[in-house]
């Protein structure tokens, strides 16, 4: 399986994501600059964390208009797995690939620590290596991770089982403790915690590696079936 790690001006977790895929997962991966106009050769798309375009206006608001985002939308519509982490999640929200918005943390302070997440939905291409109700340990590092949506959207997320992860002890004030959501089609996941920073016990947790393993396994199973 071949992954693209999208790099925007200001991305700073692209190397972590690249390492997770190449060195820990053992899959093919390339950095792709934000002005790319074709992602057809890639099987999975990864939007890493950081401060794209300096987080001016709003986090992810400018990156949403980058050339490559047209191709990310195209990949999502084609059913390819798309994972946005932290700033990548913010970009997915701004682009309309996921519903809702991000606000400043309730504390108005940047947070950087490991948190516990509850797996709310393990019936996705990203979480099938986990069990429903599992508690996993994944780091956070954000100043605008306070997920918000209106009541109608929240009800829709709950009705469609689109809430994938919740915080065990909500660090930022996110509505309904939401830490990660998926689109209705089930192939676009956005999450604020960083699974790419939890791919080896030397880092304090290897729980994040299970997400990437699930992506690869589900992709291979789908392509064997369709071969």
* Residue among 13, 27, 120, 194 flagged as catalytic: 194
Distance CA 105, CA 141 (A): 11
**What residue has token string 């600059």?**
33
* Residue among 13, 27, 86, 94 flagged as catalytic: 86
142 catalytic? Reply is no
41 catalytic? Reply is no
Distance CA 10, CA 6 (A): 11
223 catalytic? Reply is no
Instruction: For residue 151, give every residue at least 6 positions away whose Cβ sits within 8 Å of its Cβ, in sequence order, or none.
Output: none
Closest of 65, 39, 71 to residue 52, by C-alpha: 65
Query: Is residue 170 classed as helix, strand or coil in its secondary structure?
Result: coil
Distance CA 176, CA 214 (A): 26
Q: Are 111 and 208 in contact (CB under 8 A)?
A: no
Catalytic residues: 86, 194, 196
């Amino acid at each position: 399986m071949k992954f693209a790690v999208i790099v925007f001006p200001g991305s700073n977790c692209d190397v972590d994501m690249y390492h997770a895929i190449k060195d820990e997962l053992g899959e093919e991966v390339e950095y792709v600059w934000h002005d790319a106009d074709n992602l057809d050769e890639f099987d999975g798309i990864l939007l890493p964390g950081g401060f794209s375009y300096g987080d001016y206006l709003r986090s992810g608001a400018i990156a949403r208009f980058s050339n490559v985002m047209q191709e990310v939308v195209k990949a999502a519509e084609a059913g390819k797995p798309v994972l946005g982490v932290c700033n990548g999640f913010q970009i997915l929200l701004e682009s309309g690939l996921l519903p809702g918005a991000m606000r400043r943390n309730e504390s108005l302070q940047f947070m950087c620590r490991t948190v516990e997440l509850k797996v709310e939905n393990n019936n996705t291409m990203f979480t099938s290596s986990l069990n429903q109700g599992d508690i996993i340990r994944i780091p956070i590092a954000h100043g605008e991770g306070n997920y918000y949506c209106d009541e109608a959207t929240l009800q829709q997320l709950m009705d469609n089982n689109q809430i994938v992860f919740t915080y065990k002890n909500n660090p930022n004030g996110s509505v309904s403790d939401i830490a990660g959501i998926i689109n209705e089609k089930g192939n676009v996941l956005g999450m604020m915690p960083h699974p790419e920073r939890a791919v080896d016990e030397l880092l304090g947790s290897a729980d994040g590696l299970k997400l990437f393993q699930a992506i690869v396994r589900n992709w291979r199973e789908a392509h064997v079936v369709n071969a």
